[in-house]
Structure 1
Amino acid sequence: MRLAWSFLLSATISAGISLSPAAAHASYQATLPPALPGPGPLALMDSTFDLAQVAPPPQEDAPPIEGPADFSPAPAPEPETRYRSLGSRMGAAKWETIGLFAYVTATQAYWTDETTHFHFKDEGWFGKNTNNLGIDKLTHAFNAYLFTEFLGARIARKTGDRARAAAPAAMLSMGLMLYGEMWDAHKEDSGFSVQDVIFNTTGAALSVLRHTVPGLEEKLDFRLLMMPNSSIYTFKGKRHYEQQHFLLALELAGFRALRSSPLRFVELQVGYRGKDFTNADRATGITPKRDIFFGVGVNIKQLFFKDSRSRLGRAIGSGLNYFQLPYTAVYDY
């Protein structure tokens, strides 16, 4: 301790600083600047602090501060705003529509033999005296329905709204079917049929109804059943129409109360078919037959493909909404 005090005393003396309290106080006061007029220390502590007296007053006419221009790309609009109009939703399936247009062109060109000028033809409805007992009318309805379903699914994939995709898909489908009817209008063995146009509209409207009425998509299917004949499959003509059975299938699995019961594997079906109406049958005097049939079927999709994780399994399950497998139902022909 004595050593420390001796060191401090020597340093002070060498620096020329007096250790006298009075002298030290006088020396400190001499170094201070002259006192400014104003309240004393106690008055300053008692006064209130006003931020307005410290901060500069706002400049009313000051120009806004502008930063550098932002050249970053704008964010992509959300689907609900990007596809708000009917035209934009139709445009969401433009490439699919072009593909179907090419398909209709190719098939019509393949089936067209002799052509003539544009003309109308009254083909009738479902009478026994009609050319194909109305099977051709249901073919038009099913094709329009299938086009609408496909285009609606593609539009919904981009827009995220299946119900709002139904109407634009139906309009595109009816346009494609009308284009195909223009080909028929120039064929010698057919013509522009008002009945065909009505059934084109019916098929497209059924698809719209199926996707806009809540719960109907899970319950009701419009399907085509192709029954094999002696040639297994006939590509065109009246024998081709004889193979076609069109039906509506009511899936019991679509009802909430039956989803956990064994009835979920059951379908109730009603359909229409025609037979014995080929030219050879008519020539021999065989009376054409038309049948409205009822049946009970097995829901193959529910049985094997309901929870399929593979792409192939999901594709097969989706296809079963539109095509009925032969021999998977019992009918009252």
Structure 2
Amino acid sequence: MRPYASFGEDVATIKWELAAVAAYYAAINVPKLFDDPQWPSFQSEGWFGVNTNNVGVDKLAHTYSTYVVSEILYARLKHKTGGAPGIQYTAAALASGIMAGTELFDAIEPTSGWSWEDFAMNTAGAGLSILRNSVPGLDQKLDFRLMIRPNDDIYTTSGKEHFQQQRYFFALKLAGFEAFKRSPFRFVELHAGYHGDDFLLEDRAAGIRPKRHIFVGLGLNLRELFFRDAKRPVGRAVGEVLDYFQLPYTAAHVHITE
């Protein structure tokens, strides 16, 4: 294991991975410079209120995006440094910087602006990654995941409907606990999360009240079921993806709020 290194040394270790992530977000955001940009402004978007644009689902999308970027960079640092001390902080700081840059691009959009709520949720995602990679064994017990509920288009990329398809939740993996490692319960997870319904513009125009759902439920630990002992790189990679993404129809959720 490498001893503590400077922030700059960590960055140099994953310079190409960092460049790839930065290029991805640049490709998404640079076109905003040519789409009637405005002088940077601020906009208060609220949190999870029924009168907010997306009843808070977009806020969890910010948390999840920063969390996943942090996790990707952490995984690459861990691979290249042998799990050196402090790399979880470097990964989270870099992810936070990239997402803050994205928020700066939002600040020049005529219909948007810099949102401190988005910035706070980005920070929460980075902090969650730090926690998960600092507490020994926590990454074997707890995931933060996204599940997409398919519609007629499978996934709608334009407008607000994609937010309505998204469910964000924590998954407590029984396989991570010694008491369940040799029992059938290792394939079971406990879920708790949030999603929204009926907040599209046409729903509001029709007088339908937006719905905010906190849910709990059970899910299948697909990584434990199919990829626990994967030997091939592709199998291991798919297993790792399943720590962050739940395939639809592999969990049963019940609303505890309407």
Does 1:167 pair with 2:69?
no
Look up the match of 2:9: 88
Q: Determine helix, strand or coil for the equivalent of 2:2.
A: helix
Structure 2 CA distance, aligned partners of 1:121 and 1:305?
44
> Highest CA radius of gyration, 1 or 2?
1
Q: Determine helix, strand or coil for the equivalent of 1:141.
A: helix
Structure 2 CA distance, aligned partners of 1:303 and 1:132?
35
Match 1:332 to one of 248, 254, 257 = 254
Asked if structure 2 preserves the Cα contact closer than 8 Å seen for 1:219 and 1:252, the reply is yes
Asked if structure 2 preserves the Cα contact closer than 8 Å seen for 1:153 and 1:162, the reply is no
Structure 2 CA distance, aligned partners of 1:220 and 1:151?
19
Match 1:134 to one of 52, 56, 72 = 56
Structure 1 CA distance, aligned partners of 2:84 and 2:142?
16
Q: Give per-residue Cα distances to partners, 1:141-172, cap 9 Å, x unaligned.
A: 00100110000111111211165210000010
Structure 2 CA distance, aligned partners of 1:111 and 1:293?
36
Deviation of 1:111 after TM superposition, in Å, equals 6.7
Match 2:128 to one of 195, 206, 216 = 206
Structure with greater strand share of residues: 2
Asked if structure 2 preserves the Cα contact closer than 8 Å seen for 1:162 and 1:211, the reply is no
Look up the match of 1:235: 157
Structure 1 CA distance, aligned partners of 2:96 and 2:171?
24
Q: Determine helix, strand or coil for the equivalent of 1:269.
A: strand
Q: Determine helix, strand or coil for the equivalent of 2:214.
A: strand
Look up the match of 2:148: 226
Q: Which amino acid aligns with 2:26?
A: T
Q: Which amino acid aligns with 1:86?
A: F
Structure 2 CA distance, aligned partners of 1:287 and 1:228?
22
Q: Determine helix, strand or coil for the equivalent of 2:140.
A: coil
Q: Determine helix, strand or coil for the equivalent of 1:246.
A: strand
Structure 2 CA distance, aligned partners of 1:301 and 1:130?
36
Look up the match of 2:220: 298
Q: 1:111 to 1:136 in 2, by over 3 A?
A: farther
Look up the match of 2:169: 247
Look up the match of 1:189: 111
Q: Determine helix, strand or coil for the equivalent of 1:120.
A: coil
Deviation of 1:108 after TM superposition, in Å, equals 1.7
Q: Determine helix, strand or coil for the equivalent of 2:139.
A: coil
Structure 2 CA distance, aligned partners of 1:119 and 1:270?
35
Does 1:312 pair with 2:228?
no
Q: Give per-residue Cα distances to partners, 1:74-125, cap 9 Å, x unaligned.
A: xxxxx625x6223212321122111111111111235774421100000000
Look up the match of 1:101: 22
Q: Determine helix, strand or coil for the equivalent of 1:217.
A: helix
Asked if structure 2 preserves the Cα contact closer than 8 Å seen for 1:144 and 1:203, the reply is yes
Aligned-CA RMSD value: 1.4
Number of residues paired by the alignment?
Answer: 254
How high is the TM-score relative to the length of structure 1? 0.74
Q: Which amino acid aligns with 2:54?
A: N
Structure 1 CA distance, aligned partners of 2:216 and 2:32?
33
Structure 2 CA distance, aligned partners of 1:231 and 1:111?
26
Q: Which moved more, 1:161-170 or 1:286-295?
A: 161-170
Asked if structure 2 preserves the Cα contact closer than 8 Å seen for 1:115 and 1:186, the reply is yes
Deviation of 1:133 after TM superposition, in Å, equals 0.6
Q: Determine helix, strand or coil for the equivalent of 1:296.
A: strand
Asked if structure 2 preserves the Cα contact closer than 8 Å seen for 1:132 and 1:241, the reply is yes
Look up the match of 1:118: 40
Q: Determine helix, strand or coil for the equivalent of 1:101.
A: helix
How high is the TM-score relative to the length of structure 2? 0.95
Look up the match of 1:53: none
Look up the match of 2:201: 279
Match 1:288 to one of 203, 210, 223 = 210
Deviation of 1:315 after TM superposition, in Å, equals 1.0
Structure 1 CA distance, aligned partners of 2:18 and 2:186?
36
Asked if structure 2 preserves the Cα contact closer than 8 Å seen for 1:163 and 1:211, the reply is no
